[in-house]
Protein backbone atom coordinates (compact mmCIF):
# COMPACT_ATOMS: atom_id res chain seq x y z
CA UNK A 1 0.00 0.00 0.00
CA UNK A 2 1.01 3.58 -0.64
CA UNK A 3 -0.30 6.82 0.78
CA UNK A 4 -0.24 10.56 0.69
CA UNK A 5 -0.25 12.92 3.65
CA UNK A 6 -1.45 16.43 2.93
CA UNK A 7 -2.37 19.66 4.68
CA UNK A 8 -5.65 21.43 3.96
CA UNK A 9 -5.91 25.14 4.60
CA UNK A 10 -9.58 25.89 5.25
CA UNK A 11 -11.02 29.39 5.17
CA UNK A 12 -12.48 30.41 8.49
CA UNK A 13 -16.11 29.35 8.77
CA UNK A 14 -15.94 26.81 5.92
CA UNK A 15 -14.62 23.74 7.72
CA UNK A 16 -17.97 21.98 8.27
CA UNK A 17 -18.98 22.53 4.63
CA UNK A 18 -15.69 20.96 3.49
CA UNK A 19 -16.17 17.93 5.73
CA UNK A 20 -19.74 17.45 4.48
CA UNK A 21 -18.61 17.75 0.86
CA UNK A 22 -15.89 15.15 1.35
CA UNK A 23 -18.30 12.75 3.08
CA UNK A 24 -20.98 13.13 0.40
CA UNK A 25 -18.71 12.84 -2.63
CA UNK A 26 -19.22 9.78 -4.82
CA UNK A 27 -15.92 10.46 -6.58
CA UNK A 28 -13.30 8.11 -5.16
CA UNK A 29 -10.02 8.01 -7.05
CA UNK A 30 -9.31 4.65 -8.67
CA UNK A 31 -7.32 2.48 -6.28
CA UNK A 32 -8.05 4.50 -3.13
CA UNK A 33 -8.91 2.20 -0.23
CA UNK A 34 -9.29 4.73 2.61
CA UNK A 35 -8.93 8.36 3.58
CA UNK A 36 -8.73 10.18 6.89
CA UNK A 37 -9.13 13.81 7.87
CA UNK A 38 -7.65 14.95 11.20
CA UNK A 39 -7.25 18.14 13.19
CA UNK A 40 -3.93 18.67 14.97
CA UNK A 41 -4.06 19.47 18.68
CA UNK A 42 -3.04 23.06 17.99
CA UNK A 43 -6.29 23.55 16.01
CA UNK A 44 -4.48 24.66 12.88
CA UNK A 45 -5.10 23.47 9.32
CA UNK A 46 -6.49 19.98 8.76
CA UNK A 47 -4.28 17.01 7.92
CA UNK A 48 -5.45 14.43 5.41
CA UNK A 49 -4.22 10.94 4.61
CA UNK A 50 -5.15 9.04 1.45
CA UNK A 51 -4.33 5.32 1.18
CA UNK A 52 -3.98 3.56 -2.17
CA UNK A 53 -3.89 -0.14 -3.06
CA UNK A 54 -0.71 0.13 -5.13
CA UNK A 55 2.14 2.37 -6.16
CA UNK A 56 0.56 2.72 -9.60
CA UNK A 57 -2.75 3.95 -8.15
CA UNK A 58 -0.90 6.40 -5.92
CA UNK A 59 1.19 7.79 -8.79
CA UNK A 60 -1.86 8.02 -11.08
CA UNK A 61 -3.71 10.06 -8.45
CA UNK A 62 -0.67 12.25 -7.74
CA UNK A 63 -0.31 13.04 -11.45
CA UNK A 64 -4.01 13.82 -11.95
CA UNK A 65 -4.38 17.59 -12.59
CA UNK A 66 -7.64 17.54 -10.60
CA UNK A 67 -5.70 16.78 -7.41
CA UNK A 68 -3.46 19.84 -7.64
Question: H/E element holding 67?
Answer: none
pLDDT at 12: 85
Which domains does the chain show, CATH number per domain? 2-67 (3.30.70.100)
How many CA atoms are closer than 13 Å to the CA of 7, on its beta-carbon side?
5
Give tens-digit pLDDT for 33-45. Answer: 999 999 888 877 8
Spatial CB neighbours of 59, under 8 Å, sequence gap ≥ 6: none
The stretches in the chain having pLDDT less than 50 are none
Spatial CB neighbours of 12, under 8 Å, sequence gap ≥ 6: none
pTM over 0.95: no
Amino acid sequence: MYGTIFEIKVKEGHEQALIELMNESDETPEGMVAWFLMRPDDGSDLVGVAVFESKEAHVRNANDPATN
